[in-house]
A and B are shown apart, each in its own frame.
Chain A
């Protein structure tokens, strides 16, 4: 069991996509995935969300996330960096989404990918 240093706990408390993107230095986690083949994911309003948590088997509904929207053709980005991550084991899942509206007004989002883990020293 790795010790968690106290100053990193503060950062972890502030784990949101905005905070992560803004902070410099420290440990980063690079998440990447295979591009989805749906046109709508790789179009305006489409993209991915990276969800992460320290709890294995976490529910994305209550987890932190980083939005990775489509920016320009031909495809939405297939990687993202979580900045200044405190030490510990993190669990990560990726969801793809599009601007289409599904039946019954449902948002067009994928099921979460398989969960992967990364140990941050």
Chain B
């Protein structure tokens, strides 16, 4: 089954596609919209960040709310707090807001990495040197984007002449706040930061969940970003980064499925700043104003650290629909839009005449990866078939046209979005897959559902076969409705299900009774991807995530060449040294694509000029 190319990444892009992506016929809602509480809301349930004025009194404040401190962040007083079970995030923020010792309280927001999947390999790197080549597929299974592939010769970062000046950026530590880094990769291992502290033997640290110190990349995104900044150049293998020699610091703040939080990003930033990173890459974004993250990036600025961030992949105008950290308006932030192989603004790229600064190559970007991938798709009608329990369950298979293409769907009821589901339904459908050997397994699918409040679409998996709703693990519990649209839930990490008998199932459970009409659920584009880590895989993906590290690499190059450069100098030379591009006019503050030679040869106007009469 062919994937819906853009629907899988970020929630806003899905909303943007809503008009065309719906199961027809669309019915007017026949009942009042119920409150929708989806597990992929944009903050972590059961947690908040609280900035206390007096750290000494922190414990009292937290215990008054019967909460628990998970970790202390910087600056002093900022605390990651777990809430008591019956306290909603909104209620906790209000309660802490009443506390005289609290400066502010906010959700622990969720961010997503900004990729769009889609030297022997230097010829693939059009963004570094565009010869009008056609970018081919890497070993990992993502297919190149056909748009402007091949592109236009010369539409690149103008790195070849810059490399005559400098290729070694290893005097500048570059932090990569991302899904981690494949530090065993043949094209990265020589270009990594190493700590003098024995507590951090793996070239960085891990800030996801309870953390630990191993930033190994289980996703691939962070490894891809890192390779664009600093894959080893001129070593006769693989790719090359903007910098041939680099010192990459792995700051794992995003999990196996590319989700990160305010708390993990702040901890990662603070670690980078403390350990002398001078350029930090954040190829991630989220829709919520986040005071704590903004403060952390400002603190990095005050410590002479440039932070390069992604504009986002919703095809949206950030001037009107904010993406953070892009929209923070801090002096050390460079926000990057993505360009394709003809230097047109990529179709998915966000832009903003007052918020996004420059463009850089972000389509069909070839770089290092976490490991080999295997994708299992399922069209719901190829044997072995899915097991229905009870056998008379209303789940059915059907092909339907959606937006002019034919899709395989699994539906309950078969008439959805007409008709409605059964009262007291407990209708399950599941199938057993053989997964592995692999380190990681990720489940994703698209769905549309309309459920009465209290009824649910559940997704479970079970490592030892059989009904996953009897002894399995819940991946998703969704209620409410998708408002008549097909949406992409986040991917689910089902790595604990890597066995020969991994059963994945869907359950429509009615506790309160269905709406009179229009109730039900549909599943499509079902896919399980497994990833076996290795040190030799490369992949072609796209996104503003991929544009960002091109600029990060340039920032490192500028700092390595000009050791006296300040944050302001780096930012100014990148913005001023770029190439004016018609496709970015009115889309970025500069209207420019980055140009490595232009920025290297850029010179700030002298300052502090005085002229006095001397005899």
Interface residues of A (CB under 8 A from B): 27-34, 36-41, 48, 81, 90, 92-98, 100-103, 106, 108-114, 116-121
In the complex, per-residue mask of B144-169: 1 if CB is within 8 Å of any chain A CB, else 0: 00000000000000100100010000
User: Which has the most chain B C-beta neighbours within 10 Å: A28, A48, A93, A103?
Assistant: A103
Inter-chain contact A100/B611, CB cutoff 8 Å: no
> What are 20 pairs between A and B in contact, CB < 8 Å?
A27-B613, A29-B612, A31-B609, A34-B609, A36-B603, A38-B565, A38-B603, A94-B609, A96-B604, A102-B598, A103-B595, A106-B601, A108-B603, A110-B605, A113-B605, A113-B607, A114-B605, A114-B607, A116-B611, A120-B613
Query: Which of B563, B601, B609 counts the most A-chain CB atoms under 10 A from its CB?
Result: B609
Beyond the given A90-B611, A96-B603, A97-B603, could you list 18 further A-B residue pairs with CB under 8 A, ordered by the A residue number? Answer: A32-B609, A33-B610, A34-B608, A37-B562, A37-B566, A37-B569, A39-B563, A48-B606, A94-B606, A98-B601, A100-B165, A102-B601, A103-B158, A103-B598, A106-B601, A108-B602, A108-B603, A113-B606
Q: Closest CB-CB distance, A98 to chain B, in whole Å?
A: 6
The answer to whether A33 touches B606, judged by C-beta atoms less than 8 angstroms apart, is yes
Tell me the nearest residue of chain B to A92, going by C-beta: B611
Do B607 and A34 touch (CB < 8 A)? yes
Report, nearest first, the 8 A-B pairs whose CB atoms are least far apart.
A34-B608, A102-B601, A110-B603, A108-B601, A37-B564, A118-B611, A30-B614, A100-B601
Chain B interface residue number, banded: 20 to 34
Query: Is there a chain A Cβ closer than 8 Å to B277's Cβ?
Result: no
Residue from the list A29, A112, A118 in contact with B605, Cβ < 8 A: A112
Considering the complex, give the chain A residue whose CB is closest to the CB of B166: A39
* A111 adjacent to B605 (CB under 8 Å): yes
Contact of A98 among B603, B611, B612 (CB under 8 A): B603
Q: Contact between A29 and B613 (Cβ–Cβ < 8 Å)?
A: yes
Report Cα–Cα, A118/B161, bound state, in Å: 42
Chain B interfacial positions (CB closer than 8 Å to A)? 158, 161, 165, 561-566, 569, 579, 595, 597-598, 600-615
A114 touches B611 (CB 8 A): no
* Option from B566, B569, B609, B614 in Cβ contact (under 8 Å) with A114: B609
Establish whether residues B597 and A103, one from each chain, have CB atoms under 8 Å apart when the complex forms: yes
A69 to chain B, nearest CB (A): 14
Q: Is the CB of B158 within 8 A of A121?
A: no
A100–B600 contact, CB under 8 A?
Answer: yes
A116 vs B609: C-alpha distance when bound (angstroms): 7
- B606 x A28 contact (CB < 8 A): no
A98 to B599, CA, bound (A): 13
Residues of A contacting B600 in the complex (Cβ-Cβ under 8 angstroms): 40, 100
> A110: which B residues are within 8 A, CB to CB?
603-606
| CB–CB B614/A117 < 8 A | no
Structural contact, B614 and A81, CB atoms closer than 8 A: yes
Residue on B nearest A75 in the bound complex, by CB: B564
Bound Cα distance A119, B563 (Å): 38
Q: Roughly how many angstroms separate A94 CA and B611 CA in the complex, as a whole number?
A: 11
Q: Closest CB-CB distance, B183 to chain A, in whole Å?
A: 31
**CA of A106 to CA of B577 in the docked complex: distance in angstroms?**
12
Closest to A82 in B: B611
The complex places the Cα of A31 from the Cα of B595 at a distance, in Å, of 34
Which residue of chain B has its CB nearest to the CB of A97? B603
Could you say which of B161, B602, B610 contacts A32, with CB atoms under 8 Å apart? B610
